[in-house]
């Protein structure tokens, strides 16, 4: 079955440091890939997405590139802020166009990021 593996947390960075959170996946079809963010005590918000190979999703200074050859979708940000402290989830969805359309999102276990001033 499908699976998503994220780097273990927690990750603690100083403000303005460079962030990378690794995400790799296994899927039977040709999935779409997502990064969700969860701030303390809240639900998940979609941060960015990519639907085909070499697509780059970007939002709020975060970026991730869909790498089919390495089955990866690593999240990066050049300069983190204290307000970026949250839990980040990588997820995939089988693409309906591949004939494997699915209602299910498969999530990684999440990576907690703490940014200190």
Partner 1 sequence: DGGITQSPKYLFRKEGQNVTLSCEQNLNHDAMYWYRQDPGQGLRLIYYSQIVNDFQKGDIAEGYSVSREKKESFPLTVTSAQKNPTAFYLCASSKIPGTSGGYNEQFFGPGTRLTVL
Q: List interacting residues with partner 1 (CB under 8 A).
A: 32, 34, 36, 41-46, 49, 51, 89, 93-98, 101-105, 107-110
Give the nearest distance from C-beta 110 to partner 1 in angstroms.
Answer: 5
Nearer to partner 1, 20 or 45 (CB): 45
Nearer to partner 1, 42 or 54 (CB): 42
Nearer to partner 1, 11 or 17 (CB): 11
Query: Do the beta carbons of residue 21 and residue 113 sit within 8 Å?
Result: yes
Give the nearest distance from C-beta 107 to partner 1 in angstroms.
Answer: 5
Q: How far is CA 31 from the centre of its chain?
A: 13
As separate numbers, helices (DSSP H) first and strands (DSSP E) second, the chain gives 0, 12
Instruction: Give the DSSP per-residue string, 13-42.
Output: EETT--EEE-EEEE-SS--EEEEEEE-TTS
């Amino acid at each position: 079955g499908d699976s998503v593996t994220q780097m273990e947390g927690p990750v603690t960075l100083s403000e303005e440091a460079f962030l990378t959170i690794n995400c790799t996946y296994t899927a039977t079809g040709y999935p779409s890939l997502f990064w969700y963010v969860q701030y303390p005590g809240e639900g998940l918000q979609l941060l960015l997405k990519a639907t085909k190979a070499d697509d780059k999703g970007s939002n709020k200074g975060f970026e991730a590139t869909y790498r089919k050859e390495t089955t990866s979708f690593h999240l990066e940000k050049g300069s983190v802020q204290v307000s970026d402290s949250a839990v980040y989830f990588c997820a995939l969805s089988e693409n309906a166009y591949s004939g494997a359309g699915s209602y299910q999102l498969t999530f990684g276990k999440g990576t907690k990021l703490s940014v200190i001033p």
